[in-house]
Amino acid sequence: MAVIAKIRNRPPLKWAGGKYNLVDRIAKYLPKGGRLIEPFVGSGAVFLNLEYDEYYLNDINKDVINLYKTIKHDGHEFIEFAKSFFTPKFHSENCFYDLRERFNFSDDIVEKSAILIYINKFGFNGLIRYNASGGMNVPFGHHKKIPYFPEKELIHFFNKSKKAVFRCMDFEKVINRAKTNDVIYCDPPYFPISKTANFTAYSAGGFTENQQISLSLLAKKVKTKGIPIVISNHYTPATVKLYKTARKYKFSVQRMISCNGKKREKAIEILAVYK
């Protein structure tokens, strides 16, 4: 079982389907090892709360990875810059859309990283969402008060990132780089539980069924090399079939499966364990 951090640490970003509340359950099936590899790091909740010597963290969303690299390299200076957006001056709908437009057209990675935190907190429901052209299209959240600035969470991320390498590439390349004494945890965009509940557009292009199949085939491949891999997903007939050669564990989670925040229902998830 992986070693869990003594003090729990929330990620700086809000994240649909984030794993902060499931770290204990995931850690139960992840063995100890030298390096944790996450091909779909997302909010970083698992990396932030499990203790490994090294971390190899990847995501296809280049804006998220650029943010994480900026935190790692610029540390407290960047955190203070990001904090400057959390003032009454920027707490308006017009300002939100002006900054969202700056985000979509800026080439300044530090500025975009700070605005990404702003959009994530001031936008609707903590979304990170893109349109078909790759532009951020999260709507304004209409918060009555200035949202919480995650200073403590950013500082912890900065400290933990000293042991991490961040990459933005296809998940296949990341998994194929695994070697002896590595441990892999995958939290890919989930199989939709219905045709109207596909939440995979957090990066332009989404995540296809063929990619889900490719991930399951890679899991079987690395298992033969003695490298353990654990995958999270929705529990559906499709995922049961997909992970038929893995040990499977299902459990219920509280998840918002509607844009209406009052309609929070239980969803069933699966952990597929290859080791």
- The pLDDT, as a whole number, for residue 257 is 43
Q: Give Cα separations from 188 to 30, 85, 89, 144 (angstroms).
A: 16, 31, 37, 33
Q: Is the dihedral of CA 69, 73, 76, 78 positive or negative?
A: negative
pLDDT tens readout for residues 99-116: 999 999 999 999 999 999
Yes or no: say if 58 and 188 are a contact pair by the CB < 8 Å rule.
no
Q: Which domains does the chain have, with CATH numbers?
A: 3-60+169-274 (3.40.50.150), 65-153 (1.10.1020.10)
Percent of the chain with pLDDT over 90: 83
| Block residue for tokens 């299902």 | 250
pLDDT tens per residue, range 17-65: 889 999 999 999 999 999 999 999 999 999 999 999 999 999 999 999 9
**Averaged confidence pLDDT in the chain:** 92
Averaged pLDDT, 90-103: 98
Q: What are phi and psi of 248, to 5 degrees?
A: -120, 140
